[in-house]
Amino acid sequence: MITSLEQVRRFLGKPLQDPYGRTHGKLIGITANLRDEATAVGVETANGEFAQYPGERLWINGENLTLVPAWKLESEDFRKEFDIVTRRLKALDELFSVGDIQQDIYEDLRKQHEEGINELKEKRRTLLDTLARRTGLLNGQLRELQTYLASNKMLHASGEFDDAGYRSASSEIDTGLVRTVAERKDIEAITTYLVRLDPTTPIAGSPQQEIAPQPPQPATPSTQSSTVQATSREPALVLHVKEK
């Protein structure tokens, strides 16, 4: 998510928000490389301190400059890499099964892509840990907000909070709850996607994705026509993963 200096500079002095509407502070500075790409931004937070965020996490949404959460950026990168390698492996297996690729070349190419799969497998584990920690933090925030909301209701009902103060506080809490739940929902979606890639962790009511199939056998003249017919159907997405 590379953004140019020209695109970012118009947001100087304006708020920097995340996709869920939380304000991280005011944009006060930008660093850029010789390609005119914003490599980092400086932000003054609400308490007067300063923070720096990498340019790759910036996204322009209309008139707003958005700071994409690190976990979201990592998840999108993983999806793209995984989609590419699985499509290539699928195409490679199909070409080999109909005899369009020599076995030694096929094995070399498959080995290269299997190494990429193994790297993605490790990224998946790290990403799941990151998402679990973030979910725990969000759950704690939800509990705190719900506790404050209940406490405010009690104090309002007892006459210790006036109507105006109670309504204002409740509105802020409701906004916080909506934002927190929205982020947790996004994390749950990507977590479900990642868990489905591991056949040892089933998802109730969802088909599992096979990750360790046997490579196809090369076609022979007597079997090639039947092989072509079999591969013309849309096969299930499969991967062959080796433990390092």
Instruction: Write out pLDDT tens, residues 131-166.
Output: 999 999 999 999 999 999 999 999 999 999 999 999
The pLDDT value given to residue 228? 34
- Are 104 and 197 found together in one domain? yes
How confident is the model over 58-94, as pLDDT tens digits?
A: 999 888 899 999 999 999 999 999 999 999 999 999 9
Q: Classify the phi-psi angles of 21: left when phi > 0, otherwise alpha if psi is within -120 to 50, otherwise beta.
A: left
Would residue 99 count as lying in a domain?
A: yes
Would residue 142 count as lying in a domain?
A: yes
In this predicted structure, the answer to whether residue 234 has a pLDDT above a threshold of 60 is no
The per-residue pLDDT of the chain, averaged, comes to 84
- Are 117 and 221 found together in one domain? yes
- Are 55 and 95 found together in one domain? no
**Sheet with 23-32: strands ordered across:** 50-54, 38-44, 23-32, 15-17, 64-67, 58-61
In this predicted structure, the answer to whether residue 218 has a pLDDT above a threshold of 70 is no
Better-predicted residue by pLDDT, 206 or 186: 186
- Are 219 and 108 found together in one domain? yes
- Are 82 and 155 found together in one domain? yes
For residue 62, how far is the Cα from the chain centroid?
Answer: 22
The pLDDT value given to residue 210? 43
Would residue 236 count as lying in a domain?
A: no
The total domain count for the chain is 2
- Are 95 and 167 found together in one domain? yes
Domain end point (choices 42, 68, 94)? 68
Average pLDDT over residues 171-175: 97
pLDDT band at 56 (very low <50, low <70, confident <90, very high): very high
- Are 56 and 119 found together in one domain? no
How confident is the model over 59-69, as pLDDT tens digits?
A: 998 888 999 99
- Are 157 and 63 found together in one domain? no
Would residue 16 count as lying in a domain?
A: yes
Would residue 130 count as lying in a domain?
A: yes
- Are 96 and 187 found together in one domain? yes
- Are 106 and 159 found together in one domain? yes
One-letter identity of residue 243: E
pLDDT band at 215 (very low <50, low <70, confident <90, very high): low
Domain end point (choices 13, 37, 68)? 68
Residue 10's CATH number: 3.90.50.10
* Residue ranges with strand state E in 50-207: 50-54, 58-61, 64-67
Domain end point (choices 68, 90, 117)? 68
pLDDT band at 1 (very low <50, low <70, confident <90, very high): low
Beta partners for 60?
65
Would residue 239 count as lying in a domain?
A: no
- Are 108 and 61 found together in one domain? no
- Are 76 and 64 found together in one domain? no
Would residue 241 count as lying in a domain?
A: no
Residue 20 domain boundaries: 5-68
